[in-house]
Amino acid sequence: MSVSAPLGNSNSGTKSGKEQGTQATSKTTHFGFKDVPEYEKEELVREVFSSVAKSYDVMNDVMSFGIHRLWKDQFVAKLDPGRRPGGEPLSILDVAGGTGDIAFRMLDWASDIHNDHQSKVLVVDINDDMLKEGHKRSLTTRYADGSRIEFKVQNAEFLDAVPDNSQDLYTVAFGIRNFTNIPAALRAAHRILKPGGVFACLEFSKVNVGILDMIYQQYSFNIIPLMGQLVAADRDSYQYLVESIARFPSQKEFAGMIKDAGFEISGEGYEDLTFGVAAIHTGVKV
């Protein structure tokens, strides 16, 4: 198995971000707290994650005191992936899947809970360095032969290598806030899911207790960049990551965006984790 990429760049079949930008130079988006032309953000984000790829999993443990593992476990348990009795194996797309944390958990759950050894995960990410780390990790797992997991470079706003109505489950964990055009990515998610397919997102969100939010903001902006400097020798990338969390929409706003993309949501459409430090959003294609 190898990390594969479509022909051309990660936007194969579309105009590159730079080409699009030259046609719409007035369009800007945020990169952390900075406003940048839309066509520049993709490369800026790619540079950040290339810089942190080798230390990404270690820094996740350090920054969250390991709590991110509990969030990911809860995310996968909520989705309960696996072939049901008499059903076909699942086709799962893990977007911005980087080092494979969610993909491995989903395959483990399907295998161990549902005795499903056929459901597959396609892990896509815009950053080849992150995918290489995930591929390297996969070689130490029971999925090393590549029959149930594949890694491919893709831009989440286009997903040009993923056929329409082909996936049962779309997951994205701690990645969607880095997308240049989130509504476009949500529309792409809706397009590639089968009718009845589930969109599921785990992302940092807004703390819902005032005093805890004050403490969390102080920790985020004063401590996490310092950790990035000490552990990964990269303060700037972790400063961006903190800022990207602050700029991400609230739980209700993001649920509205998911609904606007054509998904049906149940209730409020989200579940808070650890007082809203993170949240799980789900929607169904009907």
Greatest Cα-to-Cα distance within the chain, rounded to the nearest angstrom: 53
Confirm whether residue 9 is marked as ligand binding.
Answer: no
Q: 285 near 262, Cβ under 8 Å?
A: yes
Closest C-alpha among 78, 58, 80 to residue 68: 58
- Is 155 annotated in some ligand binding site? yes
Q: Return the SS3 of 226.
A: helix
Provide the token pair at 273: 């984790």
Reading the block at residue 227, the tokens are 């950790």
Q: How far is CA 130 from the centre of its chain?
A: 12
Q: Which runs of E-coded beta strand occur in the chain?
A: 3-4, 28-31, 34-37, 91-95, 120-125, 149-153, 167-173, 193-204, 263-264, 270-273, 278-285
Rounded distance, CA 43 to CA 66, Å?
29
Q: Which amino acid is at 87?
A: G
The answer to whether the annotation marks 156 as part of a ligand binding site is yes
Q: Give the integer Cα–Cα distance in Å for 157 and 180.
A: 8
Q: Which residues are known binding-site members?
A: 99, 125, 155-156
Q: Which parts are annotated binding residues for S-adenosyl-L-methionine?
A: 99, 125, 155-156
